[in-house]
Structure 1
Amino acid sequence: MIAAVGVLAGGGASLALATAGNAATTAGSHPAAVAPKAAGAGLADPHKKEIAMELVSSAENSSLDWKAQYKYIEDIGDGRGYTAGIIGFCSGTGDMLELVQHYTDLKPGNVLAKYLPALEDVNGSDSHAGLGSAFVSAWKTAAKDTVFQTAQNDERDRVYFNPSVNQAKTDGLGTLGQFIYYDAIVMHGPGSDPVSFGGIRKTAMKKAKTPAQGGNETTYLNAFLDARKAAMKTEDAHDDTSRVDTEQRVFLNAGNLNLDPPLKWKTYGDSYQILTLP
């Protein structure tokens, strides 16, 4: 299911400078989740995972404070209904429904549980039927609940983080490559069609071999970013490719395959930096 990008950063005229947030919070463990292999390496390192969360948040929510996004919810007009939470769960793509189901498994009778039938009805559309302002208010109330925060962490890891990191490791990619895969699956979803993560990877592999196939890591990652840019340009909501051009490609061109601070980048015209490991 495709996860939509969240709020685009402000216009290029304003340059917001942000520094790194607090240390990483360990995400809860969803029963179906498979932790990334080789714990302690790459994005499995909690400090590098925190950096990944902050990088995504800079593009999704114009802030490095990703933990402030549990309460985020709005319809950004991309045809996917409501986009919400730390990873852009969408009412129209199924991952918001799965999140609320998981939250209800952890805490029956929670403030969002009564919206499960409506979320089932609107899945696959941009409809707000049965949701509306009351649902938006309930989401913001739930976001204060640490159980709901844990549920969001769980679903982020189960659906997006763990699969992308494991695939990157299988492809022989280091920390930067793992992040590039993760950011792509967040925006494009884990599907196999040409504009989803699996299709983007397939396109890249037609142009360059992965390190696991004996290819050069930088050459392959450039091919992947080229394929991702092409996919982004097929949607009006994603046609600003700065998170590739002035973020990921900057790190790649600098040879920072380990994603080590200091990191300085721009997304949607706004400037950010992480000077030290969180």
Structure 2
Amino acid sequence: MAPHSERTGPQPNIDRAMVQRIKSISNIFEVGAPRPDFGYIEDLGDGRGYTITQYGFVTNELETGWIIERYTELAAVNSLTPFLAQLPPKASGTDSAKLTGFAKAWGRELARGPFLQQACDEVADRLYFNPAMEAADTLGVTLPVGRLIFYDTILQHGGGEDPDSFGAISERAQKAVGSPKEGREVEFLHAFLKMRRHVLAEPTNRETADVWRQSVGRVDVLSDLLAHNPGLEPPVLVTSAHFNAEVS
């Protein structure tokens, strides 16, 4: 998981239309459609408690607590604040059965207005989108599809230091083909996706193995976009055995 930073908005070196396009493509991978699904909540049986929204927040990490804390700042009286005592860092949050009423409370608060969605977007930008754009800038990845690949990888794998993380995948790709700054951006992105596909097929974290193996197809979609639409020119076709959608 990416470090907790105070930066919240999209990076200024990428226009809002492309930001939305990138997020919409990852939404398809996460919830099956380009539109965000803030009401998605499910226990995937991967040892991480509930998985929530198109961003894939999980209740056994600090992120869900951060969302509720921010939401409480925006909507002081709500039914989610009491769950902070059952979530990290105060509790593990891994057993969804112990989070009695959490799913209903989440849906109830979403129906109240846009503040819970705003809290989710702010935390997601801080944890996933901004670090992905910063990594792209640092490594010299300029293609829109490269920025999508970085965002989608951090979203799913996290930006920590474990062997399945974005950083580990990037390091392996650089060792294999060199830095994108050396005029090898496309070659680097192909290597990056190859490394990511291997991680999804054989992750070191055995608890996520079954779920991740089922998601290998998202790498195939990204590889196809890299080959045929690296600029993510609309309409972007997202098609595979599991996906068939279009992003404008």
The question of a shared fold, defined as TM-score above 0.5 by the shorter chain, is answered with yes
Shift of 1:75: 0.5
| Higher normalized contact order (CA 8 Å, seq sep 6+, divided by chain length) | 1
Per-residue Cα deviation, 1:2-25 (whole angstroms, up to 9, x for no partner): 8xxxxxxxxxxxxxxxxxxxxxxx
Q: CA 1:168 to 1:36, structure 2 compared with 1: closer, same or farther past 3 Å?
A: farther
What pairs up with 1:1-278 in 2 under 5 angstroms? 1=1, 32-33=6-7, 35=9, 37=11, 39=12, 41=13, 44-66=14-36, 69-120=37-88, 121-123=90-92, 126-128=94-96, 130-132=98-100, 134-144=101-111, 145-174=113-142, 175-212=144-181, 214-233=182-201, 234=203, 235-240=209-214, 241-245=216-220, 247-254=221-228, 256-267=229-240, 269-274=242-247, 276=248
For the Cα contact (< 8 Å) 1:208–1:215, is it kept in 2?
no
For the Cα contact (< 8 Å) 1:165–1:181, is it kept in 2?
yes
For the Cα contact (< 8 Å) 1:204–1:227, is it kept in 2?
yes
Question: Aligned partner of 2:245: which letter?
Answer: Y
> 4+ residue stretches of structure 1 with deviation over 4 A?
34-37
Per-residue Cα deviation, 1:35-91 (whole angstroms, up to 9, x for no partner): 555x2x4xx31111111121111111111111xx11111101111100002301100
Question: Aligned partner of 1:228: which letter?
Answer: R
Sequence identity percentage: 31
Question: Aligned partner of 1:243: which letter?
Answer: R
Instruction: Give 3-state SS (helix, strand or coil) of 1:258's partner.
Output: coil
In structure 2, the gaps of 5 or more residues are 204-208
Q: CA 1:114 to 1:34, structure 2 compared with 1: closer, same or farther past 3 Å?
A: closer
For the Cα contact (< 8 Å) 1:243–1:266, is it kept in 2?
no
Per-residue Cα deviation, 1:116-164 (whole angstroms, up to 9, x for no partner): 00113443x62126412x1110001112221111101100100100011
Question: Aligned partner of 2:50: which letter?
Answer: Y
Structure with bigger helix share is 2
Number of aligned residues: 237
Q: Measure the CA separation in 2 of the matches of 1:267 and 1:91.
A: 30
Shift of 1:267: 4.7
Q: Root-mean-square deviation (CA), in Å? A: 2.0
Q: Measure the CA separation in 2 of the matches of 1:47 and 1:260.
A: 11
TM-score (norm 1): 0.79
For the Cα contact (< 8 Å) 2:24–2:34, is it kept in 1?
yes
Instruction: Give 3-state SS (helix, strand or coil) of 2:246's partner.
Output: strand
Instruction: Give 3-state SS (helix, strand or coil) of 2:30's partner.
Output: helix
Q: Measure the CA separation in 1 of the matches of 2:75 and 2:9.
A: 23
Q: Measure the CA separation in 1 of the matches of 2:160 and 2:107.
A: 29
Shift of 1:92: 1.1
For the Cα contact (< 8 Å) 1:103–1:147, is it kept in 2?
yes
